[in-house]
Amino acid sequence: LDFDMKKLTEKSGGELRIGASTTISQYVLPELIAEFRKLYPDIRITLLSGNSHEIEDALAAGRIDLGMVGGIKRKCLKDELVAFVHCSNPLAQQDEISLNLLRQTPIVLRELGSGTLDVIQKALQENGIALSDLNIEMNLGTTEGIKHFVEHSLSMGIISIRAIYRSIYEQVFKVLEIENLKMEREFLFVEKRGETA
């Protein structure tokens, strides 16, 4: 109501506290926030970044007004997770790998609690594969950390396609299809029960 009344007088102000999972906060929201600020320069925006569980906890605790995560809440944007290697990796000679080769390849994934890892785990389970069946070299807390590790190793990573668009065109990374494995998700709004943003 406050916002609508101020809008009638063509003056908007206040603060919007947004929490977003790592991929969304790094690769989706900066552009959207920049556009929003052009329309509403008097609204101050703060952005909290964390994994999906941390964002949901921050919302429940009242530290943010709106959360955006990968999971099953209110749909916002589509996303796809992809397997990728550095272009110098011998696997980069292939366009697709088998599930058996996936099990053997050293892989770097996000940490427990991340929406990205939840999507990977679900897609694997649909193919009868557990996370423990993979050759997980390490779990890292950020998408950028995974990108840098893969760039300097023979490991494979799995992250949002949004995070490596530019690196694919610059021929730093190569995306590999994995037979019968689709890792799609929605970026979602989460809000307190009974409240609508």
Instruction: Report the distance separating Cα 17 and Cα 126, nearest Å.
Output: 36
Give the pLDDT of the chain (197 residues) as one tens digit per residue: 455 545 555 556 788 888 888 888 888 888 888 888 888 888 888 888 888 888 888 888 889 888 887 654 555 678 899 999 999 999 999 999 999 999 999 999 998 888 889 999 999 999 999 999 999 999 998 899 999 999 999 999 999 998 998 899 999 999 999 999 999 887 666 666 555 44
Would strands 66-70 and 14-21 be described as parallel, antiparallel, or unpaired? parallel
What is the C-alpha separation between 73 and 106, in angstroms, rounded? 32
CA distance 75 to 48: 20
| Residues in Cβ contact with 175 at an 8 Å cutoff, skipping those fewer than 6 apart | 82, 83, 84, 161, 164, 168
Rg (CA), the chain: 19
Residue 122's nearest CA partner among 182, 176, 175, 63 is 182
pLDDT at 114: 84
Q: What is the pLDDT of residue 66?
A: 85
pLDDT of residue 158: 97
Q: Are the C-beta atoms of residues 157 and 174 closer than 8 Å to each other?
A: no
Cα–Cα distance, 57 to 100 (Å, whole number): 37
d(CA 141, CA 152): 17
- Rounded to whole angstroms, the maximal C-alpha distance in the chain is 63
Check: pTM over 0.85? Answer yes or no: no
Token digits of residue 2: 């406050």
Asked if 187 and 28 touch (Cβ cutoff 8 Å), the reply is yes
Residue 168 has a CB neighbour count (10 Å cut-off) of: 15
Give the per-residue pLDDT at 1: 47
